[in-house]
Each structure stands twice: as C-alpha cells, then as structure tokens.
Amino acid sequence: SATTMAIADDGQELAAGQYDLHVWDVASGQATRVPLDGALLRGFGFVPGQHGGLLVLDPWRVRLLERGTQRPLWTQYGTFAVTSPDHVGVAATRERIAIAQREWIDIRTVDTGATVTRLATKGLATSLSFSPDGTMLAASEGDVVEVFCGPER
C-alpha cells in the first residue's frame, strides 16, 4: 500500500510508497523497486529538470537518485525525523530541495545536497510545496499552514 505518491514534472514517472518505494514508467506501466537498504522510508519526491532525480529520505540520510536507474547521484548523512511516525515533507525546484525536520525546514542545493539555510517552523511539516517560480514555500502539518517567501536564497 502507498500513503505518499509523486509524479515527475515531465509526467514520465510516478513514485508511490509507504514502507517500500516503487517507481513506475507511466508509458509502459513497468515498476521498479527502489532499494532502501533496510531503512524506513520517511519521504520522497522528484527533483525537476534535466539534472533532477528522485529524492529519497530515510531516518539517517537523504539521497538524490538518478531517474530511470536509481543510481545514487549524492548522499548526505544526518538524522531526519527519526522519531516521527509520519512521512515528512519534501519539495524541490530545479536548484533547491526543502526537507522538513522536527521544528525547521532545511533548504539544500540540488547539485550536492548541502544545506543553504534553515527555516524555523511551528512543528514537523508533513507536507511541503514550492510555488511554480520557487519564490514561496508552503509547509503544513494538521491544520497549521505556514508560508515562507524567498526560501531559495
């Protein structure tokens, strides 16, 4: 079963998961299981653009995987919502990735995964979304919604 899903910006791939993560080629319907190496899935999403990929978050690392092959492009280690029973929010633009933490959101670069800035929040955001132009980031958890202007900086 899947509690979270994402579709690539070009519409060619669909990812869905809860405890396992699978990626489907939309045209053929062919599914591929993404290796999680025994880790519990915490969040995932597609990074748009030619140099994008599939962002996969588990309690100890965040990885950007190449679309189609799931080959790791980079891995950053840390502690990501280890105590949360929920999936955490993940969102991306062509240049930046947003990852929800306990009481903040990390804004990271797409090319290396390095943290650019940290935004304070009112709790763990289970849903994140960038505006189409990347100038605003919306974060929500339950009935609390926060909007950040200029998170790309």
How far apart are the C-alpha atoms of 80 and 60, rounded to whole Å? 6
How far apart are the C-alpha atoms of 33 and 37, rounded to whole Å? 11
In this prediction, residue 1 carries a pLDDT of 58
> What is the percentage of the chain residues whose pLDDT exceeds 90?
23
Distance of CA 103 to the CA centre of its chain: 17
Long-range contacts of 83-89 (CB under 8 A, 24+ apart): 84/42, 84/124, 86/124, 86/126, 87/3, 87/4, 87/18, 87/41, 87/42, 87/43, 87/126, 88/42, 88/43, 88/57, 88/124, 88/125, 88/126, 89/43, 89/125, 89/126, 89/127, 89/128, 89/139, 89/140
How far apart are the C-alpha atoms of 62 and 74, rounded to whole Å? 8
In this prediction, residue 27 carries a pLDDT of 94
Compute φ and ψ for 29, nearest 5 degrees: 80, 5
In this prediction, residue 153 carries a pLDDT of 47
Q: What is the pLDDT of residues 103-135, one digit of tens each?
A: 889 899 998 888 899 999 887 787 889 998 889
152 has a pLDDT exceeding 70: no
Q: What is the average per-residue pLDDT within 70-92?
A: 74
Q: What is the average per-residue pLDDT within 68-83?
A: 77
Q: What is the average per-residue pLDDT within 48-59?
A: 83
**Tokens of residue 64, six digits:** 């950007």
- What's the burial of 113, exposed, middle or buried (CB within 10 Å: 0-12/13-18/19+)? buried
Q: What is the pLDDT of residues 84-101, one digit of tens each?
A: 555 678 889 999 999 887
User: pTM of the prediction?
Assistant: 0.81
Q: What is the average per-residue pLDDT within 70-96?
A: 77
13 has a pLDDT exceeding 60: yes
